[in-house]
Amino acid sequence: MACSFHDTLHYSSPANGGRGIVRTGMLVPESVELFVCPFACGRHGAISAVKQNLKQRLSYLYVNQADIVNGYDDLIIPAVGELLETLQKKPKVVLIFVSCLDDLIGTDHEALQEKLEETYPGIAFRSCHMNPISKGSKTPPGISIQNNTFSLLNKREDRDENINSLGNLIPVDEASELYPFLETLGCANLRHITHYETFEGYQDMAKSRANLVITPVARQAAEQMKKKHGMSYCFVPVSYRIEQIEQDYEHMYEELRKPGTNPGKMDFTIYKEDALKKIEEAKSVIKDMPIIVDASATKCPFGLARALVEYGFHVVRVQAPEVIGIDKGNFEWLCENHPEIEVVESLHHKSVLRENQIPDSIAIGVDGAYLAGSKYVMDLFDDEGMFGYHGVSCIMEKLAHAMDAEVELEKMIHEYGLVV
Amino acid sequence: MAVLSVYLSPFAPDYSGVSTVMFDLNTVTAMHDASGCTGNYTGYDEPRWYGSKSPIFCSGLREIDAILGDDEKLIRKMLQAAEDLKPDLMSLVGSPVPMVIGSDMQGIAEELQARSGIPSLGFDTTGTAYYDKGVAMATIALLKKFTKKQEMISGTVNILGANPLDFGKGKNLEVLRNKIKEAGYGITACLSMGYNMDALQKASSAQVNLAVSRAGYLIAEYMYKTYGIPYLCGIPVGEKAGAGYFELLEEVIRTGENRIQRSTAEEKGEGEVLIIGEQVQSNALREALVTDFGETKVTVACIFGKEAALSSEGDLSLESEREITNEINSGKYRMIIADPFMEQLMEEGNKSVFLKNALYAVSSKVCGDETPDMIGADFNTWYKAK
């Protein structure tokens, strides 16, 4: 196992990318997005939005070189007016997105937002950034869009016992033990942004007493909500390791129970036993088949690989663009205990050659499947829907069925509609 | 002047055009951007990307590099990749951020070449111009670098301006190549799609250039001035119009003079048919409608820019979604041929027949199946079926 990553030219495989900030921003009910940028910057987001049937909420103000030199702040206000006249239904929120170059020209976004809200009363505006140039900073686009999304919740006094789930684009699967667990803590409703069709309804999320953050991109947003709403939060990234899940529930019990209360602890036995049973079933089906774990499937590919190795699966490769902070411990554990596992840097320039193909393998994640030429893919993207023991049971079921049919990978990637 | 676009997706940009030209060659090419510009190209502007091993990369530009103007980091990454991949050529492709900070892509490329000994090119693309400019810019730069003037070989032609943003994966282009061969001509180079360095270097030996797109026209003009090769600008769309195209080719060979395929329609100006798209392809469709189907009023509306030399009277350049919408709903047209994405611009009550001609530079892979087979009689079959 090569225990270092290199700063090279980046290869962009056809399976590279994510759901994108356009789609994340669209989670805000009754919102539209206006991108203010050179036309080129908007192409991938727009085409992807067409594929996801979201384009009707996405518009562009194309700026040219002269506009950039002169500053385009003043152009945005009339453009918003023109956009509002065109739209059949008046939005409640307009997200104004700028691109990388805006970081270098000093647009005064606070003043712009004030002017917009003054000019178009009854509409909330946010300046958002589609600026991958800020990757590596504290606020790259995936994080700033979460901050903007949840900054739209207005402070309110009427609070209840419920909890919000932040950061995950798709709610945790409703069959997860997470829900009965939260009920034991008095939370009957784990609120998620997708539950709301109106902006007014979305404001219910400001009633919750706490936030549960299961993906790192929403940690800053949770911090900001703590300051603004006095809402505590608990960060529990998705894990597929039974031992870690046990600790996570202990941690959640301490952090999410109402202060001063001491509710009875939930018995997770049936969930844990189901997960363990499904692990054995999956092993009996796929046996020694080589497994590739890739970062398109999960935020912590080294964590998932570690879990699989601990369960006795034959992991041969982990593929990732980098090691993120919360996965570092797992990476180091694998380096120390399983140096035979290959690490493929998906962005490394040599990845273009797609050397060392492993056709007879199961790839967990499409990017891993593409570089390895895997015949079989376990369809998991960004941990969507996964959490806790039920998450383990789900991926084991998927793994057990991964070899039912060879994958049509190009079609699968196309259907994902990924955006770099 | 900033332009609002509510419904249509942005069209393919110049840096994608450059990259499509580099795709076939043994290069190390880097788009100097953070990731999104490269993602535009690899995800939505290059139909050949899936399964390819074309070494076109992203430089991974970060804020601190832009602020400090750290070109050395880019050069180091390029040299490292060159060591591993052994390219014949390196190229650097600009994007909006290098434009804003004033990066000298050509200057950095010269530095790269001096340090590596590998021929290198730099392109000051900005993301504020369309793909065809990029295709022409890159092909001309390659010709300047690698193609010396040489003796003409009779009966040979180059295809110029072939690129996936006009021809998708190249089905129509393949048919065109076969037609050219069937007509007895040898193809020296098909620039810049389906070619290699050897073909590029021999390109100046062709007797005639066939410009099949606006980019092709710009390249043909350069090659005419530099190598003295005359050109025919057009595409043999339609049975009779296609035959006319090959008669024009004979004429170019006989006279050594350039020819541009133009409609023979008598009536100009307001038309009953509106073709919206790339100029050379739209001209060829018009030629087929006029020659094979007797249409007399056909207007071409260019959406990527209009070359005066390729235009007929009354042709339009539509430079915004508003202008496209207004023209589509002007009430002047019985039939509109355009990319499927533009159908949504038709207002209620607009009774024009809308024929879909998918343009990769507009709708990318979303409407890939809706590009008609258009070379020669294939067009007649498609048009009659519609």
For residue B142, is it within any domain? no
CA distance B3 to B322: 9
Q: Inspect the interface and report whether the beta carbons of B99 and A65 lie closer than 8 Å.
A: yes
CATH of the domain at B327: 3.40.50
> Which residues of A are less than 8 Å from B37 in CB distance?
40-41
Question: Do B187 and B208 fall within a single domain?
Answer: yes
Question: Do B33 and B119 fall within a single domain?
Answer: yes
Question: Do B165 and B242 fall within a single domain?
Answer: yes
Residues A396 and A281 sit within 8 Å (Cβ to Cβ): yes
Looking at residue A106, its pLDDT comes to 87
**CA nearest to A74 within chain B:** B2
From the list A38, A72, A349, the residue facing B96 with the nearest CB is A38
For residue B74, is it within any domain? yes
> Which residues of A are less than 8 Å from B305 in CB distance?
none
For residue B188, is it within any domain? yes
CATH of the domain at B32: 3.40.50.1980
For residue A271, is it within any domain? no
Looking at residue B292, its pLDDT comes to 95
The three-class DSSP label of residue B265 is coil
Looking at residue A220, its pLDDT comes to 98
Q: Which residue has the higher pLDDT, B368 or B132?
A: B132
Looking at residue B271, its pLDDT comes to 67
Q: Which two three-digit tokens encode residue B289? A: 């409608």
Q: Inspect the interface and report whether the beta carbons of B2 and A64 lie closer than 8 Å.
A: yes
pLDDT digits (tens, 9 = 90+) for B213-229: 999 999 999 999 999 99
Rg (CA), chain B: 21
Question: Do B349 and B294 fall within a single domain?
Answer: yes
For residue B5, is it within any domain? no
Task: Note the maximum CA span of chain A.
Answer: 66
> Which residues of A are less than 8 Å from B133 in CB distance?
none
Residues B238 and B379 sit within 8 Å (Cβ to Cβ): yes
Q: Return residues 48-67 of B near A (CB < 8 Å).
A: 49-51, 53-55, 57-63, 66-67
Burial of A200 (0-12, 13-18, 19+ CB in 10 A): exposed
Last residue of a domain, one of B233, B260, B287: B260
For residue A157, is it within any domain? no
CA distance B128 to A37: 9
Question: Do B219 and B284 fall within a single domain?
Answer: no
Looking at residue A415, its pLDDT comes to 86
For residue B266, is it within any domain? no
Q: Edge-to-edge strands of the sheet including A210-213?
A: A190-191, A163-166, A210-213, A232-235
Q: Mean pLDDT over residues B83-105, rounded?
A: 97
Q: Which two three-digit tokens encode residue A325? A: 């902070």
Q: Inspect the interface and report whether the beta carbons of A17 and B43 lie closer than 8 Å.
A: yes
Question: Do A314 and A412 fall within a single domain?
Answer: yes
For residue A14, is it within any domain? no
Looking at residue B264, its pLDDT comes to 56
Question: Do B95 and B178 fall within a single domain?
Answer: no
CATH of the domain at A127: 3.40.50.1980
For residue B135, is it within any domain? no
Q: Which residues of chain A have pLDDT under 70?
A: 1
Q: Inspect the interface and report whether the beta carbons of B96 and A16 lie closer than 8 Å.
A: no
The three-class DSSP label of residue A295 is coil
**How many domains is chain A built from?**
3
From the list B84, B100, B127, the residue facing A105 with the nearest CB is B100
Question: Do A38 and A137 fall within a single domain?
Answer: yes
- Domain holding B83, by residue range, is 14-129
Q: Inspect the interface and report whether the beta carbons of A14 and B43 lie closer than 8 Å.
A: yes
CATH of the domain at A316: 3.40.50
Mean pLDDT score across all residues of chain B: 95
Looking at residue A19, its pLDDT comes to 87
* ipTM of the modeled complex: 0.95
Question: Do B278 and B255 fall within a single domain?
Answer: no
For residue B9, is it within any domain? no
Question: Do A412 and A291 fall within a single domain?
Answer: yes
Question: Do A386 and A284 fall within a single domain?
Answer: yes
For residue A252, is it within any domain? yes
Detail the DSSP E strand segments found in A171-244: 190-191, 210-213, 232-235
Question: Do A332 and A397 fall within a single domain?
Answer: yes
CA distance B57 to B78: 10
Question: Do A83 and A124 fall within a single domain?
Answer: yes
Question: Do B118 and B152 fall within a single domain?
Answer: no
Looking at residue B180, its pLDDT comes to 98
pLDDT digits (tens, 9 = 90+) for A294-316: 999 999 999 999 999 999 999 99
CB neighbours (10 Å) of residue A343?
Answer: 20
For residue A366, is it within any domain? yes
Q: Among A114, A121, A229, which residue's Cα sits nearest to residue A166?
A: A229
CA distance B242 to B212: 13
Q: Shortest Cα distance from B84 to chain A (angstroms)?
A: 7
- Domain holding A210, by residue range, is 163-256
Last residue of a domain, one of A99, A128, A151: A151
Looking at residue A420, its pLDDT comes to 82
Cβ contacts below 8 Å, chain A against chain B, sum to 215
Q: B378 pLDDT exceeds 80? A: yes
Looking at residue A416, its pLDDT comes to 85
Q: Shortest Cα distance from A356 to chain B (angstroms)?
A: 14
pLDDT digits (tens, 9 = 90+) for A16-28: 988 899 999 999 9
Looking at residue B206, its pLDDT comes to 98
Looking at residue B369, its pLDDT comes to 77
**How many domains is chain B built from?**
3
Question: Do B93 and B36 fall within a single domain?
Answer: yes
Last residue of a domain, one of A107, A131, A151: A151
Long-range contact set of residues A78-86: C-beta below 8 Å, sequence gap at least 24: A79/A34, A79/A36, A79/B2, A79/B4, A80/A34, A80/A116, A80/A119, A80/A120, A81/A119, A81/A120, A82/B4, A83/A32, A83/A34, A83/A59, A83/B4, A83/B6, A84/A120, A84/A123, A86/B6
Q: Mean pLDDT over residues B37-56, rounded?
A: 96
CA distance A418 to B143: 36
Disruptive mutation site among A5, A6, A10 for chain B (greatest number of B CBs within 10 Å): A10
Q: Shortest Cα distance from A366 to chain B (angstroms)?
A: 13
pLDDT digits (tens, 9 = 90+) for B25-46: 999 999 999 999 999 999 999 9
Q: Inspect the interface and report whether the beta carbons of B100 and A8 lie closer than 8 Å.
A: no
Burial of A398 (0-12, 13-18, 19+ CB in 10 A): middle
Question: Do A133 and A176 fall within a single domain?
Answer: no
Last residue of a domain, one of A151, A174, A205: A151
Looking at residue B1, its pLDDT comes to 72
pLDDT digits (tens, 9 = 90+) for B241-277: 999 999 999 999 999 999 999 765 555 555 699 999 9
Q: Return residues 71-100 of B near A (CB < 8 Å).
A: 77-78, 80-81, 84-85, 95-97, 99-100
For residue A318, is it within any domain? yes
Question: Do B363 and B284 fall within a single domain?
Answer: yes
Q: Among B93, B61, B86, B64, which residue's Cα sits nearest to residue B74?
A: B61
Q: Inspect the interface and report whether the beta carbons of A134 and B35 lie closer than 8 Å.
A: no
For residue A323, is it within any domain? yes
Residues A167 and A147 sit within 8 Å (Cβ to Cβ): no
For residue A223, is it within any domain? yes
Residues A243 and A171 sit within 8 Å (Cβ to Cβ): no
For residue B140, is it within any domain? no
Question: Do B21 and B110 fall within a single domain?
Answer: yes
Q: Shortest Cα distance from A337 to chain B (angstroms)?
A: 30
Question: Do A139 and A168 fall within a single domain?
Answer: no
Q: Shortest Cα distance from A56 to chain B (angstroms)?
A: 7
Q: Shortest Cα distance from A55 to chain B (angstroms)?
A: 7
Question: Do B208 and B289 fall within a single domain?
Answer: no
Last residue of a domain, one of B228, B260, B292: B260
